[in-house]
Amino acid sequence: MNLADLPAIYATKPSPRVSSSYVFIPTRPIVEGLEDSGWNIVGAQQTKSRSEERAPYARHMLRFRHPDFSELIDPRGETLVPELVLVNGHDGTACYRLYAGVFSFVCANGLIVGTMLAGAVVRHMGLQATLESVQSGAVRIIDEEFPQLVTSVERMASTKLTRSQEHDFARHALELRYRGVSPLLTTDQLLTRHRPEDAANDAWTTLNVIQENVLSRKFQSTSFTGRRSNIREVRAIKEQININRGLWDYAAKLAA
């Protein structure tokens, strides 16, 4: 991971497209504030811009871990790590947002917890005020949301799904990704298991399987015109977050 490849993190001014009333808050000081509190960056990405002039202001997402927070044991017997996820942008399309996250070493994927946990929205208010809001939001997520996250995972793991429920879950994932457009993927593809640990049919395992397939796996497909095409992973940060949270909410509802 090379943060130098993500220019928006180091932006020193907003996009020239925003209005004069836009309050610019650079990302780097906020990151440094979190690092001073013990958080370490473990992942970062930036939305690809179609033009080079937009790249320094694009939406970006960073994942942090803290050494004081214990790892969780995946119901499949593997390791899960709680994470703090920060999203920002300097083009007027995104304010600071914080989410509770969890990283699974089984599938090397980072999940973002759904709307059952509110996360924190931090508006651009001035550097010091924004920094304080980010810090207080991080504390609230740690104190209030991480314990709920553990409980939610345990409930999902104890909820067995029928084959019909698994396919309904996969259809919901297709709706989240394609949003009314005819999907190129199938429910069988989204339910494909890639390792022995994924063989179980509980809601937690199914969530991880579908999340990996709908977001990160590459598939070959045939369009309605008969043309062969490669389906790539979802790269847009906004879409990743929306799909991640929607999948988590669906699994949590099954386990309620």
Q: Which of 77-91, 124-138, 186-200 has the highest mean pLDDT?
A: 186-200
pLDDT per position as a tens digit, 80-104: 888 888 888 888 776 778 888 888 7
| DSSP secondary structure of the chain | --GGG-GGGG-SS--TTS-TT-----HHHHHHHHHHTT-EEEEEEEPPPSSGGGGGG--EEEEEE-TTSPPEEPTTS-EEEEEEEEEE-SSSS--EEEEEEEEETTTTEEEE--TTS--EEE----HHHHHHHHHHHHHHIIIIIHHHHHHHHHHHHT-B--HHHHHHHHHHHHHHHHTTSPPSS-HHHHT---SGGG---BHHHHHHHHHHHHHT--EEEE-TTS-EEEEPPP--HHHHHHHHHHHHHHHHHHT-
Choose between 192 and 106: higher pLDDT: 192
Say how far apart CA 108 and CA 37 lie, in whole Å.
26
Which of these ranges, 31-35, 110-114, 135-139, has the smallest mean pLDDT? 110-114
Choose between 4 and 29: higher pLDDT: 29
Say how far apart CA 40 and CA 65 lie, in whole Å.
5
pLDDT class for 217, splitting at 50, 70, 90? confident
pLDDT confidence of residue 207? 94
Whether 83 contacts 64, CB under 8 Å: yes
| Residue 237 in this model has a pLDDT that exceeds 80 | yes
For residue 221, give every residue at least 6 positions away whose Cβ sits within 8 Å of its Cβ, in sequence order, or none: 184, 185, 228, 229, 230, 231
Spell out the domain ranges in the chain: 3-157, 163-254
